[in-house]
Amino acid sequence: MINIRFPDGAVRSYAKGITPMAVAKSIAEGLAKKVIAASVDGVVRDASTPLNKDCELKLLTWDDTDGKATFWHSSAHLLAEAVESTFPGVKFWVGPAIDKGFYYDMDLGGRHISEEELLTLEKKMDELSKKNSEYIRKEISKTDAVAYFSEKGDEYKLDLLSGLQDGEITFYTQGNFTDLCRGPHIPHTGLIKAIKLTSIAGAYWKGDEKNKQLTRIYGVSFPNQKELDDHLLMLEEAKKRDHRKLGKELSIFTFDDDVGPGLPLWMPNGTIVIEELEKLAKETEQSAGYKRVVTPHIAKESMYLTSGHLPYYQDSMYPPMELEGVKYYLKAMNCPHHHKIFSAESRSYKDLPLRLAEYGTCYRYEQSGELFGLMRVRCLHMNDAHIYCAKEDFAKEFRAVNDMYIKYFKIFGIDKYVMRLSLHDPAKLGQKYINEPELWKETEEMVRQVLIDSKIPYVEVPDEGAFYGPKIDVQIWSAIGREFTLATNQVDFAQGRRFGLEYTNRDNQSETPLIIHRAPLGTHERFIGFLLEHYAGKFPLWLAPVQVKVLSISEKFNPYASEVTQALLKAGIRAELDDRGEKIGKKIRDTELLKIPYMFVIGEKEQNEGLVAVRRQGKGDAGQSPISEIITTLTSEIQQRHSN
């Protein structure tokens, strides 16, 4: 007998060799039907794994994250089975579960799969799932495994096998499909009741663009049709919040073929959002001791050679233009320009920390395939600043920057974020990273300490640093679950020296300052893209391009409505008058769709009594109010930058 402990703490005795599935059956038949896999001492295993010693057991169902992952991984095998039966001779690479679904990478030998064929595969999967084929695990020797895939001529699986040892190789078979796989899998294919193959894409073998490109089929599956329907509905909803769609509907930005890819044109509405954000940044930075600067959009090649950017990033800069025999580059970053401002005057320790801020316009030649709405563009406006400080001030300054991030997050109601501490890889010193092993270690430790001291949640990622120092990236998620790298906060111990930046310390000696690069609001492009999705286009009052729409009930009241509009404009509120000869219902509908926060309805009653009838977007009629009173209310809401 063995003792099995359950998540609720209960311990029960079972015969040695019992499987999690049998345990589930002993508890309830209904439970057994739902069991997908089992967590045994924290390791996810097949529900058919014999339990031979005391253990902690958690029966996994669709409701568990690990259960879903197993379900989707098994779905990937089902996809492979369908593909193999439809297109014999296909070679498979790997088919993992992902965040929401699964994919399988395969070599179709030059064949293309069309949208219709994708539907055929989907039907085939449905058909195969109904066979209730068990996923059967088999341990196999390396020799036999190699023989099997050699016979099949599958060099991809042979490549996988080359990294495996005897004794750790298992095959899984369901129906007519056998795959090299560590598992675990669900009990049988019949559990996969609703399947949707979502897209076909190319994917480099092993993620390396030098390698051959395989065909990747993405899909998602569920234990019942309703969940699939819900999922598809959710995708539809997500589309409505897509910043590209909202940006067009709300006239925030546009792209034009003649201007060029990745070069957004900010329309009047978008420009208002930009200006409000800049106002916020300027206020915040001014009170934090920053000084504003303005620098040109281009600079000579020599400066980027000095900074060291050119050899590292030339490919992602616009090609140079030549004037009077000298090459000029469009700036892809603001730092070198700021360094030149630092070095323009002799600096004393009394000048430090010197914090130079600029909403700098940068141009980056992103590869064409990378462009994505406002999220990846070639012209961007960075909420940039560089802090020049003595080493002893570093921790304090770095922490103040982090505090500023948090302050902004509160204003925008961003409560889900993770900071990623990106470190260097010692093996790549001198190539990807500046060859200063000691400085790397030292600054990485300083940054880590600040994060620990400030109790900010963070994860460490190796080999992701900037070439001149470690950095912190802030990951946030928009309301539709899209992940953004919003902002970066970087330490730079290299450029100060490269630019010969110096200050005189207390002992009358020259020292090179440390530099902090920071951009809490990232770029206007990415941040406004994020905000559009975050707010679903319903900007809070302070950011709304049009804050109040004044709607006259009939043309008779246009003069008074116009007076109201003027009063609002005079009070600094962005108001517009709708004096069209339309009915009030129509005007309200149009304004609602434009997601304008406030509507003032003006009719006979309002005109006679000097009132406005207030209506809040999405919330309906909010009753009447005297004009002066509502102006006071709105002004205060705007000043406080209320989130919705």
Which residues in the 204-263 window bind RNA by CB under 7 A? 204, 207-209, 213, 215-216, 218, 244, 248, 255, 257, 260-262
Sign of the C-alpha dihedral computed for residues 360, 365, 367 and 368 taken in this order: positive
Least distance between RNA and beta carbon 571 (Å): 21
| Candidates 42-50, 81-89, 161-169, 590-598; binding stretch for RNA (CB under 7 A) | 590-598
Residue type, 9: G
DSSP per residue, 53-98? S-EEEEEE-TTSHHHHHHHHHHHHHHHHHHHHHHSTT-EE----EE
Specify the stretch interacting with RNA by CB under 7 A; choose among 86-94, 144-152, 181-189, 332-340: 332-340
Report the residue number, 262 or 545, with the smaller CB distance to RNA: 262
Rounded to a whole number of angstroms, the minimum distance from the CB of residue 506 to RNA is: 31
Select the residue interacting with RNA from 130, 240, 407, 605 (CB under 7 A): 605
| Cα separations in angstroms, 208 against 161, 442, 491 | 19, 32, 29
Within residues 540-559, the interface with RNA by CB under 7 A covers 553-556
Show the binding pattern over residues 428-457: x = contacts RNA (CB under 7 A), - = does not: ------------------------------
Residue from the set 301, 351, 592, 637 that interacts with RNA by CB under 7 A: 592
Least distance from RNA to the Cβ atom of residue 395, Å: 21
Taking CB under 7 A as the criterion, the residue among 618, 629, 632, 640 binding RNA is 618
Separation between Cα atoms, residue 469 and residue 495, nearest integer Å: 10
The pair of three-digit structure tokens given for residue 335, joined into one six-digit string: 């730092």
Number of residues that bind RNA (CB under 7 A): 74
561 binds RNA (CB under 7 A): no
Pick between residue 339 and residue 517 the one whose CB is nearest to RNA. 517
- Return d(Cα 525, Cα 521) in angstroms, integer: 10
| Residue 250 Cβ vs RNA, minimum distance, rounded to whole Å | 12
Tokens of 450: 């600040």
Phi, psi of 104 (to 5 degrees): -135, 130
Instruction: Calculate ∠ Cα 500-503-508, nearest 5°.
Output: 125
Q: Given the complex with RNA, which of 138 and 605 has the nearer CB atom? A: 605
Length of the chain: 644
The 467-486 site mask, x for binding RNA (CB under 7 A), equals: x---x-------------x-
Residue 303 beta carbon to RNA: minimum distance, rounded to whole angstroms: 12
How far apart are the C-alpha atoms of 578 and 551, rounded to whole Å?
5
CB of 246 to RNA, least distance (A): 12
Pick one of 372, 409, 417, 477: the residue that binds RNA (CB under 7 A).
372
DSSP label at 265?
Answer: E
Closer residue to RNA in complex, CB, 115/275 = 115
Among 144, 230, 275, 370, binds RNA (CB under 7 A): 370
Q: Does 581 help bind RNA (rule: CB under 7 A)?
A: yes
User: Exposed, middle or buried by CB within 10 Å (0-12, 13-18, 19+), for 79?
Assistant: buried
CB nearer to RNA: give 172 or 468. Answer: 468
Is residue 295 a contact point for RNA (CB under 7 A)? no
Q: List the one residue from 11, 147, 201, 323 that touches RNA (CB under 7 A).
A: 201
Residue holding tokens 């030149």? 340
Q: Write down the least CB distance from residue 299 to RNA, Å.
A: 12
Among 415, 384, 417, 382, smallest CA distance to 285 is for 384
Q: Does residue 333 touch RNA according to CB under 7 A?
A: yes
Residues 105-144 within binding reach of RNA (CB under 7 A): 112, 114-115
Q: Which of residues 303-322 bind RNA (CB under 7 A)?
A: 309, 313, 316-317
- Supply 259's token pair: 């201007």
Report the nearest approach of RNA to the CB of residue 365 (Å): 7
**What's the Rg (C-alpha) of the chain?**
31
CB of 368: closest distance to RNA in angstroms? 3
Q: Are 553 and 577 a contacting pair, CB within 8 Å?
A: no
The contact mask relative to RNA for 61-90 (x = CB under 7 A, - = no) is ------------------------------
SS3 sequence, 101-134? EEEEEEECCCCCCCHHHHHHHHHHHHHHHCCCCE
Q: Smallest distance from the beta carbon of 573 to RNA, in angstroms?
A: 19
User: What is the nearest approach in angstroms of RNA to the Cβ of residue 362?
Assistant: 8
Give the dihedral of Cα atoms 220, 474, 442, 285; nearest 10 deg: 170
The verdict on 460 binding RNA (CB under 7 A) reads: no
**200 is an interface residue for RNA by CB under 7 A:** yes
Taking the complex as a whole, the smallest distance from the CB of residue 350 to RNA amounts, in Å, to: 29
Burial per residue of 397-416, b for 16 or more beta-carbon CB atoms within 10 angstroms, e otherwise: bbbbbbebbeebbeebebee
Cβ distance 318 to 363 under 8 Å? Answer: yes
Told to check if 606 binds RNA by CB under 7 A, we report: yes
d(CA 561, CA 553): 9
**Choice from 54, 301, 351, 366 touching RNA (CB under 7 A):** 366
Alpha carbon distance 90, 111 (integer Å): 10
- Which positions from 499 to 538 touch RNA by CB under 7 A, shown as an x/- string? ------------------x---------------------
CA distances in angstroms from 366 to 254, 309, 315, 489, listed in the order given: 18, 15, 9, 21
**DSSP label at 207?**
G
- What is the per-residue binding string for RNA in 175-194, x denoting contact by CB under 7 A? --------------------
Q: Considering the complex, what minimum distance in angstroms separates the CB of residue 136 from RNA?
A: 31
List of long-range contacts for 607-615, beta carbons under 8 Å, 24+ apart = 607/557, 607/560, 612/550, 612/564, 615/588
Nearer to RNA, 45 or 73 (CB): 73
Helix (H) or strand (E) run with residue 39 in it: strand 37-40
Residue 54 burial by Cβ neighbours in a 10 Å radius (0-12, 13-18, 19+)? middle
Helices 268-287 & 524-534, crossing angle to 10 degrees? 110
Interface with RNA includes 371 (CB under 7 A)? yes
Taking CB under 7 A as the criterion, the residue among 199, 566, 633, 636 binding RNA is 199
Query: What is Dmax (Cα atoms) for the chain?
Result: 94
By the rule CB under 7 A, 603 interacts with RNA: yes
Q: Does the protein bind RNA through residue 585 (CB under 7 A)?
A: yes
Does residue 583 bind RNA (CB under 7 A)? yes
Nearest to RNA of 450, 601 (CB atom): 601
Q: Residue 316 forms beta bridges with which residues?
A: none
Give the range of 54-62, 176-184, 559-567, 589-597 binding RNA by CB under 7 A: 589-597
DSSP string, 564-587: HHHHHHHTT--EEEE-SS--HHHH
- Residue 93 CA neighbour count, 13 Å, CB half: 19
* 368 makes contact with RNA (CB under 7 A): yes
